[in-house]
Every structure is written in structure tokens, then in C-alpha cells.
Amino acid sequence: MEKGESMRKAAILIMLALLVALFVSGCGGEASAPEGEGGTSGGTGITGPVGQAETAACAANRRVITSAVQQYKSMEGKAPTSIQQLVPEYLDSVPTCPSGGTYTLSGDRVICSVHGS
């Protein structure tokens, strides 16, 4: 292997290691959730990448439940009064919030007890 090629591979590996370290450390800053997603860590006390991932996963769960609510309304002609009404026809099971919250319905809105709506 040529010396130049060896140095290039070493430089690439170092850059990858730095990127991984930055990702794992959360780039050294405070985490902040997207607007309307419940604050910096969704009330869990966890900041950084873990808090952001939990907030994002909860938002995705709420979107899935909201979609099932819309399907239910379309097929049944009325809104469900609880999320359990969506199982098993519109949801295989009720998703769980990664931060331990519970989901409830308020009209067409899906609310997480930890992350809000």
C-alpha cells in the first residue's frame, strides 16, 4: 500500500471517529425539542440525543395514532372516544411512549402525558 493511500485512509478514519464522537456527545450543546414538541427534553429530565430521540419517537407515535383516528372516523362516521377503540382494526396495538408517557384522545388530538400534543 502506498504511503499516500495509507495516510488518506487514516485521515478518513479519524474524521469518522470525530463525527461519531460529536454525534454521541450531542455536539456539546443543550438539546432542544422542535417547536410544539414539549420543551427541551419532553419533561423527562433527559437532554441531548436521547431526549431528542424520545421526543421524535413520541411525535411519530402520535402521528400514527392520529392517522388511525382519521381512518376510524372515515369508516365509522364518528370519532373514537378512546385509543383502545382503534385496536386491532386500525392499530395492531397502542404504541408506547419511549419516555413512559400514556396517550389519550382529546377530540381529534392525540396527547402524550409526557410530551404533550
pLDDT digit string (tens) for 81-112? Answer: 999 999 999 999 999 999 999 999 998 899 99
- Contact residues for 39 (Cβ-Cβ < 8 A; gap 6+): 33
| 35 or 43, higher pLDDT | 43
Name the residue among 48, 28, 95 with its Cα closest to residue 67. Answer: 95
User: CATH topology for 31-112?
Assistant: Pantoate--beta-alanine Ligase; Chain: A,domain 2 (3.30.1300)
Question: Residues 51, 31: contact at Cβ < 8 Å?
Answer: yes
CA 80, CA 83: separation in Å to the nearest integer?
7
Q: How many CB atoms lie within 10 A of CB 46?
A: 17
Q: Domain locations in the chain? A: 31-112
pTM exceeds 0.85, yes or no: no
| 62 or 14, higher pLDDT | 62
Determine the pLDDT at residue 56: 94
Determine the pLDDT at residue 86: 95
Question: Residues 98, 57: contact at Cβ < 8 Å?
Answer: yes
| 46 or 107, higher pLDDT | 107
The answer, yes or no, to whether residue 1 has pLDDT greater than 90, is: no
Determine the pLDDT at residue 37: 40
Start-to-end C-alpha separation, the chain: 57
Determine the pLDDT at residue 13: 72
